[in-house]
Amino acid sequence: EVQLLESGGGLVQPGGSLRLSCAASGFTFSTYAMSWVRQAPGKGLEWVSSITGSGGSTYYTDSVKGRFTVSRDNSKNTLYLQLNSPRAEDTAVYYCAKSRSGYTAVFDSWGQGSLVTVSS
Amino acid sequence: DIQMTQSPSTLSASVGDRVTITCRASQNINDWLAWYQQKPGKAPKLLIYKASSLESGVPSRFSGSASGTDFTLTISSLQPDDFATYYCQHYNNYLGTFGPGTKVDIK
């Protein structure tokens, strides 16, 4: 059974930094692209970032380019999202998501979500 | 950039109703469209991919179709477990764009 468990969320000041982690199990982690999707309170879903299975290529939505960094450690079956210089509008529940086989940006498994609150 | 719209934003229905949700792309996206269901406080769940392919384990009352840049999610007979918010998503390689969502609530 696929399991994705996020951690690292919490309160962060504007301009600070925070790192989210997503521990994966139940599948061959290194063979799947992984992504982060967020949801601001009471709002819809927003794709944030994706990374290939090898970690060699990364992709970001325009609003986080240059501030967020996605990475992975395939030896630890863990996905990361480094949030640098977060803004109030980055406040959201952040989900990690696994790509469906053959469809890199279709997400067939999701974590439970980790709340990030950006506030002074 | 491709924009995704959904209609209606809210839909009130009863158990047993046939429900149709529409998603429109601002330009041709072929059939690169998925549908997700989300319940309050829970992660989304994949229902449909490639416009009309049913994800494994999803009940057959859910179906998807496409006509040009218009896409439809149909629930043939609404069940109590189906009251939720539904999102369409255009995907292209590693990038994804979600629609604003359609909330299905009890009439």
| pLDDT on residue A104 | 83
Are A45 and B92 in contact (CB < 8 Å)? no
| pLDDT on residue A37 | 98
- Whether residue A94 lies within 8 A of chain B, CB to CB, comes out as no
A13 CA to chain B: closest CA distance, Å? 25
Do B92 and A48 meet the contact criterion of CB atoms below 8 Å apart? no
Distance from C-alpha of B29 to C-alpha of A4, rounded to nearest angstrom: 30
For chain B, positions 63-102, list CB contacts with chain A under 8 A. 87, 89, 91-101
- pLDDT at residue A102 above 80? no
Residues from chain A contacting residue B100 (CB–CB below 8 Å): 44
Nearest CA in chain B to A114: B43
Do A23 and A112 meet the contact criterion of CB atoms below 8 Å apart? no
B14 CA to chain A: closest CA distance, Å? 24
Per-residue pLDDT of chain B (107 residues; tens, 9 = 90+): 899 999 999 999 999 999 999 999 999 999 999 999 999 999 999 999 999 999 999 999 999 999 999 999 999 999 999 999 999 999 988 888 999 999 999 88
Do A41 and A92 meet the contact criterion of CB atoms below 8 Å apart? yes
| pLDDT on residue B82 | 97
Distance from C-alpha of A79 to C-alpha of A76, rounded to nearest angstrom: 9
Distance from C-alpha of B85 to C-alpha of B23, rounded to nearest angstrom: 13
Nearest to B34 by CA among B16, B18, B47, B17: B47
| pLDDT on residue B106 | 87
Q: What is the pLDDT of residues A14-27, one digit of tens each?
A: 999 999 999 999 99
Which of A37, A46, A100 is opposite residue B49, by nearest beta carbon? A100
B53 CA to chain A: closest CA distance, Å? 12
